[in-house]
Structure 1
C-alpha cells in the first residue's frame, strides 16, 4: 500500500480502515498467499521542507521480521508520525530467509521501492542479474531478495532520470535472463516506486496474469458519491492510495489498474499509460 497527498498518520490506512494493511497481513483474499506474516516495513517521507541541499526529501524506513499484527512498535510509530507520502508492505517469504534486510520497502537516497510478486527461478539467474548492477550501487544490496536486485537494476538503468523506462528495462533484463535459463514466465508482480514527489505504480507479468493492483478515485468525486461518509473527512482533496486490495467495500472508491499499465500519481491527480505491452 502507498499513500500520497496531504499529510496524515500512516495508521489511518495501516490500522484504522475497514480492510487495513494489518488485516491483510492476516487474511489477504486477493493475494497469492492468504497470510503475510514474515515481516513488514513502513517507509515514509517527512513533512516540511526538503531534507538536503539538492532539494530532495529523504525517507525514513522501519522494518521488522515480526508479523505486522503482533508489533506494538508499528502501532506506535504509525500514529506518532505524519507523512505526505508513505509505503507499507507485509511479507510472505517465497524463499529468501526471514530477516530485516529482506523486508520491503527498499531505499536508495530519496527513492523508495517495493514489489508484490516474484522473479520465477531467481536463484538460477541471480548471479547474471546481479552482475549487471552498477558496481557503485552493488554495495547497497544488503539482503537476498529478488526485489532488491530488481531495484538496483532499475537504479543502474536510470531510475533517477526516467522511472518508467528504467523499471521497464530492468524487467526486460529479467525476462531475457529467464528465457536463457528456460524459465517460461520470469516476471510476476506489481511495483511501487517514489522519489518523494511522484508515485509510480506498475502492474505487469510475463504471463499477462499479474497480481491485483488498485488506486483510489479522487477525493472530491468520492465526497459527491458518499456525502455522509465521515471517514472521507480525514483526507484532503489530493489524497490518493495505491493498494494490492481495496481497503473498503464501498463501490467506486478503488479503481483497478489494468494489465501492463503504470499509474502515475502526483499532486495534479493520476493518469494511466501502457507499460511493456507485447
Structure 2
C-alpha cells in the first residue's frame, strides 16, 4: 500500500509534511508503520497550487528517500494546497506515468488502495471514457483510471457524487464479470480551491486516514507524522472529507447503488 499526505490552509513549505517531521512522508517511504508493507519505494510525486489554476507537479520512479531534488524542492516550495505521495505498486509498472499525483486540468488526485480483478475490469472501465479523457490516460494503474472515471462522471460539479459513481461502477462491473467485488480506496483530490478525501472499502478494511491541524490549516495523511497521539484524529472508514475556508467537514460516504452504512457518529478535528 502507498502512503500520502495533503494540506490546505495558509501557505506552508512542503517540507513540513514531506521531509521535516520525525515520521515524514520520506520516512514513511522506507519505514511505514501502519501499512501492510513498510517500504514504499516504487516512485513518488508532489503536486502543488500557486498563482495559476493548474498545479505544478514533480514525479519520479526513484524511491523518495534517494532523491535529493525532492528534499530541495520541498524546502523551497511554499503552497496553500498540495498533495504528496510515495508509491508501493500493486499493479502497473514502475514508470513515471504511474506515479501519483495524477493531474488533469486544475484537478489533482492521489490514491492508496486497489481494485481486485483489475485486469478483467480495465477494458470495460476505459470504454466509459470519452475520447478526451481516454487519450489523457498516460499510465496503466487502476488509480489513474478511477480518477478519469470520476472526471467523466462529473467530478468538477459534484466531487463526492462523482467518486461515489466511479467506485460503484467498478464494484458493479466486478460483480457482473467475476461474481465478487473488492475496492479499497483512500484518496485525496483537489480543484485548487478545496481539498477532498474519501476513505472507503467494500470489505470495510480501507487504508488508514488521519487528520490534524498544521499551522493555520489542516493536513490529511495516511499515518501520523509524529508521536503526538492527541493531535491526530482517525477518519472513520466510510467517510468523505472536505477542507475549505470553513474548516474540516466529515460526512458518511457510500458508493452509489450500495446499501446505506447506517448512522455514523460525528467526528471532530481539534483546532
Matched, 1:241 2:219: yes
Q: Residue 260 of structure 1 is aligned with which of 227, 232, 238? A: 238
Give distance in 2, aligned partners of 1:145 and 1:183. Answer: 22
Matched, 1:22 2:26: yes
**CA shift at 1:183, angstroms?**
5.4
Matched, 1:203 2:207: no
Residue of structure 1 equivalent to 2:87: 91
Question: Any conservation in 1 of the 2:172–2:181 contact (CA below 8 Å)?
Answer: no
Question: Any conservation in 1 of the 2:210–2:223 contact (CA below 8 Å)?
Answer: yes
Q: Residue 145 of structure 2 is aligned with which of 149, 152, 156? A: 149
Find the residue that maps to 2:178 and give its secondary structure: coil
Matched, 1:250 2:250: no
Two-structure CA RMSD over aligned residues (Å): 1.1
Find the residue that maps to 1:181 and give its secondary structure: helix
Matched, 1:270 2:248: yes
**CA shift at 1:180, angstroms?**
1.4
Q: Between Structure 1 and Structure 2, how many residues are aligned?
A: 252
Question: Any conservation in 2 of the 1:120–1:183 contact (CA below 8 Å)?
Answer: no
Residue of structure 2 equivalent to 1:115: 111
Stretches of structure 1 lacking an aligned partner (at least 5 in a row):
52-56, 220-234
**CA shift at 1:267, angstroms?**
1.9
Question: Any conservation in 1 of the 2:91–2:142 contact (CA below 8 Å)?
Answer: no
Give distance in 2, aligned partners of 1:129 and 1:95. Answer: 16
Give distance in 2, aligned partners of 1:79 and 1:196. Answer: 21
Q: Residue 68 of structure 1 is aligned with which of 64, 78, 81? A: 64
Question: Any conservation in 1 of the 2:100–2:110 contact (CA below 8 Å)?
Answer: yes
Give distance in 1, aligned partners of 2:105 and 2:161. Answer: 19
Give distance in 1, aligned partners of 2:126 and 2:37. Answer: 27
> Structure 2 length normalisation: TM-score?
0.90
**CA shift at 1:268, angstroms?**
1.3
Find the residue that maps to 1:203 and give its secondary structure: strand
TM alignment of 1:99-178, pairs within 5 A: 99-178=95-174
Stretches of structure 2 lacking an aligned partner (at least 5 in a row):
255-259, 262-271
* Superposed CA offset, 1:114-153 (max 9, x none): 1101111111110010101122211110000001110000
Question: Any conservation in 1 of the 2:113–2:186 contact (CA below 8 Å)?
Answer: yes
Give distance in 1, aligned partners of 2:61 and 2:113. Answer: 18
Question: Any conservation in 1 of the 2:114–2:142 contact (CA below 8 Å)?
Answer: yes
* Superposed CA offset, 1:213-242 (max 9, x none): 0111x46xxxxxxxxxxxxxxx22xx1000
Question: Any conservation in 1 of the 2:171–2:183 contact (CA below 8 Å)?
Answer: yes
**CA shift at 1:254, angstroms?**
1.0
Give distance in 2, aligned partners of 1:186 and 1:140. Answer: 26
